[in-house]
Structure 1
Amino acid sequence: MKNIFFIGINGIGMSGLAKIMLELGYNVSGSDLKKNYMSTEMEKMGIKIYDSHNEKNIIGMDTVVVSTAITEDNPEYKKALKGNLLVLKRGELLAKLLNDKLGIAIAGTHGKTTTSSMLATVMLEKDPTIVVGGIVSDIKSNAKYGQGKYFVAEADESDNSFLYMKPEYSVVTNIEEDHMEKHGSLENIKKSFDKFISQTRTEVIACLDCKNVEEIINKVNDNKKIKTYSLKNKDADIYAENIEIKGNKTYFNVFILKKFVGRFILSIPGKHNIYNSLPVIYLAIKMGIVLDTIVEKIENFSGAKRRYDILLDNESYKIIDDYAHHPTEIKATLEGAKSIEREKITVIFQPHRFSRVKFLLDKFKGVFENADQLILLPVYGAGEKDDFGISLKKLAEKIDHKNFKIILGEEELEKELLKGDYKKVEIFMGAGSISSIAHRFAKKIEGK
């Protein structure tokens, strides 16, 4: 397996693995239809990237790795399946690498990227291997091959690829309905997490405040394997209290096994980020990192790219790029924003996938209540066809926001956002092309 090809290489998960395999001495190449900042970085590293899918691209390859977004009618995928090649799903390759080290896998419907990025940042002195779904500021990348024994990675439940993993330690942040087009029901999702927990070798650090997580861990036979964390239940193994918000910082006390550990400071907003920090603090202590280092690293952690990512902050505009697209993520992000922002908040939301909007439609009600103004953009299909009977008007009715607009084009959006002369907080929110729109708008404002 010396010549390895990635179909859909520019995705955040695929690009991370491509970089790791390059560092391990493999000849790496791949293909994708759209270039982005990840492809620019990989090409600088010497990875050949084709801008079209053609079966000729995989000539001479030993192994082909396939993104979850790639279907079997892809010409490279079809050729690989017919040929005498090793074909791996992205999750299979990630699991092979993680299972060979002391793996720490971060799973859950929400919070995976922030939690894994924070843990990777705190553990850098241990020189871990890192593969996460966002850009970690301290390494300026989503991946790093380390000489140390630890491997920190996100565990993706969207296609059940996390079930290839057998980590030493795992974190379960929460469990909710998502990716229903693949899972079919919440019960199926819970069964998958139950199996993931059973495959964790040493310890599972699980959020007690999520009912679906609590239901699963209560059924685990080996209670010593489970460590819980909470903001509500003082009987949890890891607990936070005395939460204060001062300016843009959040202060809180942490207790482990009912013993006071210390007072911690977060520079990223929102109660959900306190939740994200608790398993990080526990694991970092477990891995022998000095408490002062943990406190310092957590305070200096600025978040993963596209998680409340401030692109511009001047006298007229504060422009923020955020990945939130599931109703629960949106609500948590806006609660955090409301706690620190002093100006009016405008959310520009691009719904992600017609199937997600359909399956979660009822859950969108009220999630934008902390936004002063809401702008809805057309659904980003992510390869899906618009055959789910979803319209923006139907979504807007379900959201039920008192001050919203539907805007169909980027030029019209810019005109709307340029109105008024007061300081504005504008949060571009979603998992599709909305990030590129946010970056273009920020550059225009900066240019003026």
Structure 2
Amino acid sequence: MTHSIPHPTGVVPPLARLVMKTGSLETLRPANVAHWTKIAEMLRAAFPQGGAQRDDVHLFTSYSAHGLAQPEVVTQHDTKLMTVARLLLEHLMEANGQWSYLKAQPWFTDGGHLVAIDANYYPNREVKGGQPQFHKDTAGNNVFVNLLFDNPDPIPATEWLVDVGEPGFRRRLLQESLLPPGYLKDLDEARLHLRATTAADEPVSGGVTEGANTYVSWVDDLIWHATPTDVNRHAYTAAQASVLYDLVDARSRAGSLSHVYDGRIGEFVSVPELLGSIAECPTTHLRHVLGAKFGPQDVDYPTVDVLWKKVYAGGEGRARYLEDVAKRGASEWRLTGHIANASTTDPGAPGSSQLFETPAGLSSRRRRNSDPATKVDVLLALLTQIAKGHPRSFLRTWVRVIPRNSEEGRRAFPQR
């Protein structure tokens, strides 16, 4: 059964309708199941596990422009295999509503922007054994992500949560330089709706997929996602955070404020994640300093040292830190040990860079994969997958929006 974020009746912004959809291809596009089975078989033969590729294989990039019946396709692989894979992925995007949205946008119909679809194949992306690492796939211009798994049985599901927070200041500037204003407006409207309709304590989704041939489709800017893991995050307390003060302060004075080692849990703690989670408490000194313009999502590597020196350094700063962790520790508090990757570098997106943020609300949300019963289900699905020798293989698409007059756009359509 297709799953998506539940909405109240009434007008729902278009991107809020598309924010997350996942289920079985057998339900969404039953006519394509046999096609996917054959394509998956050909991909396994062409790109076996342990081959020249380390993790994934870039299959092709297709460029679609309004008014053109067929996209331009750039690939270095077998043209016939890439064609059938592309058609299958286009059918998936039609069925999940992404293509309908894109084709209706003025910035596409006026010819100003192209839709670029990057397709990659993962022969075996194994379930990780450590803390969940939530991230986004975008380099600033990625609007949708699709995963299509080659799974004959249920498998551990992708973990995800809705990103109801505003983008960090740096991410917003990057988006404004790369994306059409109309799309940014749609994102803002969707965030307002999701903020009003998503429960603050809604668990991070996970568990096990429903059925075979699983697809996962989402709006990249509105979702934090992670490769599934059954490892719990670190439950933190005010007392634990208090002990870290001297370690963090010493790092700050040494000019290297990224991670500190917490010997009690035997792992490193991300200082931006620690401070970002403190800033989620609205009554803390740190949140007050951030003001109305900034928020927890702006606590990243470039700013964390500045904030530490401004708020927490020195004798009075220590007192403020202890007050803040006491306030934050009054409610549930969990850390992954990582700061989330909100954007990555892409040669095709001029000006893109690696950006980090604190996912809004993550530190206070439960994960489905931490529930004992769900954890057993995840482990059973994983063990079944291993026993049957089924790799965790899938297709992934990044659906990007690029200006037609950009360097990449001119390369795609040099004569048009």
Where on the TM-score scale, by shorter chain, does this alignment land: which range?
A: under 0.3
- Normalising by structure 1, report the TM-score: 0.23
More strand by share: 1
User: Which protein has greater RCO, CA pairs closer than 8 Å, 6+ apart?
Assistant: 2
